[in-house]
Chain A
Amino acid sequence: MAEAVTDDGFVVFDRVQKSYDGETLVVKDLNLSIAKGEFLTMLGPSGSGKTTCLMMLAGFETATHGDIRLGGQPINNIPPHKRGIGMVFQNYALFPHMTIAENLAFPLEVRKMGKSEREEKIKRALDMVEMGAFGGRRPSQLSGGQQQRVALARALVFEPELVLMDEPLGALDKQLREKMQFEITDLAHNLGITTVYVTHDQTEALTMSDNVAVFDDGRIQQLAPPDLLYEKPENSFVAQFIGENNTLEGVVTEISGDTCVVRLDDGEELDATPINVSKVGERTKVSIRPERVEYNKERLQEGAHTLKAEVLEFIYMGDIFRTRLRVAGNDEFIIKTRNAPDVERLKPGQQIEIGWLSQDCRALDA
């Protein structure tokens, strides 16, 4: 849901629309305000418009309608090279015919900076990403992770206030990616720069960001800090897109304050928190995270509704148990249980009853 745009944001998208062909909108009525020093991630599936937004901010695409403001100034008509925005590209875009030091010198040279000042800044930037010893190498002589660091240093060397990153970790292996996630957030917070980060990897978005804007279909579906996004998704797209999620469909039969009762299609009933439902009789998708499902009756509230379930598969994953159930005709109902001494290991074919706290189960749009 689009937030109300406040003018005090450092970066502001004000009713921005973008169309490439004049027939369909890739970005539909985007409103977004990013505070100074904030680390904001644009998360969404491919084609959701997140990269287009980044490119409009960088100046490589023009907004079809609406204003983009940076530090209070409209920047729609400012060419990219005058915006002073640092950018890290997906393939790093390190200039292959220049050494690392020359790559870093490039933004300083075009700013007509003196040689001694330039060298000092290059050294500081390379040291910052622990690449001080590599100034004389060519990009092709570096590993993916090292190139990534250099790209970061190059985007930061001219001390921009805003840095954009377009899926910068996409080409790295998992371990390196996790290390770099930590380093990038660390660097951004230490330097106090505002960062707009684009990714389709939700783990990355959750671990790195102050705020995450979930994009789909050219709109921001939800803008929230990672914990709220995960625990309190505002619609079923966000619930499905972020983390693992179980969905059951049914009709609202009773609403009382902040709880409601949903009758599933096979007649069973469950407790939920009404989010996107307002009246009895409405169809809804209820969403529940796998780790919030309980099958130990003692932990459930008095009088809470329970559902019958059949265990289909039990997977031992070390730290957790992952169990697949059949619940109300849904064969893909997953529960996750922490591996603890007192936890019962379920067996395929076993009949159990499951339930949850009503605040963990959210009745969203159908």
Chain B
Amino acid sequence: MSDTTDTGGPVLAADGTPLKRSLARALRRQKLRALMLIAPLLLFILISFILPVADMLYRSVKNGIVADTLPRTVVAIADWDAESGDLPSEAVYAAMAADLKEAAAAKTHTKVGTRLNYENPGIASLFRKTGRKAKKFDIEGVASWKDELIDINKDWGDIDNWRTIQTYSPRVTQGYFLNAVDMRVGTDGAELRPEAERIYMNLLGRTLWMSLAITVCCIILAYPVAWILANLPMRKANILMILVLLPFWTSLLVRTSAWKILLQQQGVINDILVWIGLVDDSARLVIINNQFGTIVAMTHILLPFMILPMYSVMQTIPPSYLRAAKSLGATDWTAFWRVYFPQTVPGIGAGSILVFILAIGYYITPALVGGTKGTFISNQIAFHISSSLNWGLASALGAILLAVVLVLYWAYDKIVGIDNVKLG
């Protein structure tokens, strides 16, 4: 009996249907059942995670408000050449008046003002003030809206304001992203903002280097702990493991507040230093509300995330490797460095990725102990989400943060290889 047909055609099952189709039918039920089992989680993730993230990413370029609120103006101003030095034509002013009348009736004129104010500070009040009178505009009864509007507010005669309106009339904008990297749309395309207005790149740089510092501190502190855990007998290791996990059972706020108590100028550590005479009472150390405070507190909070992957990797390395190295003539240090350490790199890598990514997006701890110099970019994102309500900028900052993490992840994959990461 031959399992394949001699004619070279598809292999047939016993009932004559092609074997492939027969197999697919047999597996379909299994696949369906598997899909049903994960469906609740899939839905949950889709609704609570993927859709919001997608929406957030869209918001970072979304700019419908100008086109929606000022539809006529957007059409009319499209042909205007801002570089000519002339104000827009009469038709543009008439369109603006008509749009403003409708917007004022719908009370949306302040929103568009707020939106344009992100790009051109001061323009919000122009819209607000003009809007108060706009409801009573008699569109047909005014000969020249150009003169009328400039008469109501002389800022309507400022070419810069019109340029802003023209620049932000498309429905999609790069403005938020430019803003997030301290740039803006100038007369010749994108340009850096004035020195004094640059915030975000510095903040992003600080976030990156502080996350790196926290990761390095975690590696240095976690390595010996993980080593001891992995080499102790099971019973003792379990007790120590509880101590490692203990912080997880305490509220994040409590842990952070504890650092405040310890580190503040009248705090425990300063008191002790003064008491033993290392530090003069008049020169107490400033170790909180700055970068140092943030690094200390966050290293403490993120340490378990470094210890756990290291521990699980070290556990799988039998002591016989070290013994073999020593029996082959290696000193303790050589045996560690050439035989043990390379095998723990996957654990270090996994812990580092975990800690770094958690740190880069951390928000509560830097907000509480960071002062002004130790805050992260996530604090700015939170500020724009909840205080300034500039969600577009917040989204752009978040998107940049996401991109940075993905780039680092990619770089890590290239250098170390993501297959080498072991979480347990």
Partner of B327, one of A80, A91, A95, A111: A80
Residues of A within 8 A of B332 (CB): 81
Q: Decide if B328 touches A106 in the complex (CB within 8 Å).
A: yes
Q: Does any Cβ of A come within 8 Å of B172's Cβ?
A: no
Q: Does any Cβ of A come within 8 Å of B325's Cβ?
A: yes
B52-97: which residues lie under 8 A (CB-CB) from chain A?
none
Q: Decide if B331 touches A93 in the complex (CB within 8 Å).
A: no
Q: Does any Cβ of B come within 8 Å of A84's Cβ?
A: yes
Q: Does any Cβ of A come within 8 Å of B323's Cβ?
A: yes
Min CB distance B163 to A, Å, is 61
Residues of A within 8 A of B199 (CB): none
Given contacts A106-B338, A110-B334, contact A95 B329 (CB under 8 A): no
Query: Interface size bucket, B side?
Result: 10 to 19
Most chain A CB within 10 A, of B321, B329, B332, is at B329
Q: Decide if B320 touches A81 in the complex (CB within 8 Å).
A: no
Q: Decide if B324 touches A87 in the complex (CB within 8 Å).
A: yes
Closest to B324 in A: A93
Partner of A85, one of B327, B331, B335, B343: B327
Q: Does any Cβ of A come within 8 Å of B330's Cβ?
A: yes
Residues of A within 8 A of B323 (CB): 58, 60, 80, 87, 89, 93
Min CB distance A105 to B, Å, is 10
Given contacts A81-B327, A85-B327, A106-B325, contact A95 B339 (CB under 8 A): yes
* Bound Cα distance from A119 to B300, whole angstroms: 48
Residues of A within 8 A of B339 (CB): 95, 106
Residues of B within 8 A of A87 (CB): 323-324, 327
B119-146: which residues lie under 8 A (CB-CB) from chain A?
none
Report A117-157 CB contacts with B as 1/0, cut-off 8 Å.
Answer: 00000000000000000000000000000000000001100
Closest to B338 in A: A106
Q: Does any Cβ of B come within 8 Å of A97's Cβ?
A: yes
* Bound Cα distance from A149 to B264, whole angstroms: 63
Min CB distance B98 to A, Å, is 74
Min CB distance A188 to B, Å, is 17
Q: Does any Cβ of B come within 8 Å of A192's Cβ?
A: no
* Bound Cα distance from A155 to B321, whole angstroms: 13
Q: Does any Cβ of A come within 8 Å of B318's Cβ?
A: yes
Q: Does any Cβ of A come within 8 Å of B224's Cβ?
A: no
Chain B residues in contact with chain A, CB under 8 A? 318, 320-321, 323-332, 334-335, 338-339, 342-343
Given A58-B323, A60-B326, A93-B324: 11 more A-B contacts, CB < 8 Å = A59-B326, A79-B326, A80-B326, A81-B326, A81-B331, A87-B324, A89-B320, A95-B321, A107-B328, A110-B329, A110-B331
25 A-B residue pairs with Cβ-Cβ distance under 8 Å, sorted by A, are A58-B323, A59-B326, A59-B327, A79-B326, A80-B323, A80-B326, A81-B329, A81-B330, A81-B332, A84-B329, A86-B327, A87-B323, A87-B327, A89-B323, A93-B320, A93-B323, A95-B339, A97-B342, A106-B338, A110-B329, A110-B330, A110-B331, A111-B329, A155-B328, A164-B327
Q: Which 3 A-B pairs have the closest CB atoms?
A: A107-B328, A93-B324, A87-B327
